[in-house]
């Protein structure tokens, strides 16, 4: 099955968006909303991690991009640990750090790709 570009982008940005919304809610003092947003993020990050791992097993990724599946799994582990402990600050900081590493990895992959010659 071929995944469209829009679905791929949404799948990668949805967990980040929810965790960022939880971070904003925590920053303005809405701790209950931040906690519930983290609970909403758990199944979404889990689904994303499983999808990325399935695509990794199907070898649809470059080797550098395959690390992102492991980083989603790490984000899920840290998110569940923080939510179970009731420490939204830990879960938020750990997930945001993991997503920052993913962003840096994605930038590195994009910079490594060859530039298309459009003058032909």
pLDDT, tens digit, 9 for 90 and up, residues 43-79 = 988 888 888 888 777 776 666 667 877 888 888 888 8
Does a structural domain hold residue 116? no
- Asked whether residue 79 is domain-assigned, the answer is yes
- Quickly list H helices, 58-87: 67-85
Confidence of residue 2 (pLDDT cuts 50, 70, 90): low
Q: Is residue 119 part of a domain?
A: no
10 Å CB burial of residue 3 (0-12, 13-18, 19+) is exposed
- The answer to whether position 45 is within a domain reads yes
Range of the domain at 99: 5-110
115 located within any domain = no
In a domain, 90, yes or no: yes
Residue 22 lies in a domain: yes
- 117 pLDDT higher than 60: no
Q: What angle do CA 66, 91, 70 make, to 5 degrees?
A: 10
Q: Using 50, 70 and 90 to split pLDDT, how confident is the model at 106?
A: confident
What pTM value is reported for the model? 0.73
Number of domain units in the chain = 1
> In this predicted structure, what is the pLDDT of residue 28?
92
């Amino acid at each position: 099955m071929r995944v469209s570009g829009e679905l791929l982008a949404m799948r990668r940005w949805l967990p980040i968006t929810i965790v960022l919304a939880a971070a904003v809610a925590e920053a303005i003092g809405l701790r209950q909303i931040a906690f519930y947003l983290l609970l909403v993020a758990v199944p979404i990050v889990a689904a994303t991690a499983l999808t990325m791992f399935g695509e990794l097993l199907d070898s649809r990724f470059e080797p550098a991009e395959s690390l992102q599946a492991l980083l989603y799994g790490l984000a899920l582990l840290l998110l569940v640990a923080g939510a179970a402990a009731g420490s939204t600050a830990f879960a938020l900081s750990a997930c945001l750090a993991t997503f920052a590493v993913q962003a840096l990895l994605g930038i590195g992959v994009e910079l490594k790709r060859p530039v298309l010659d459009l003058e032909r």
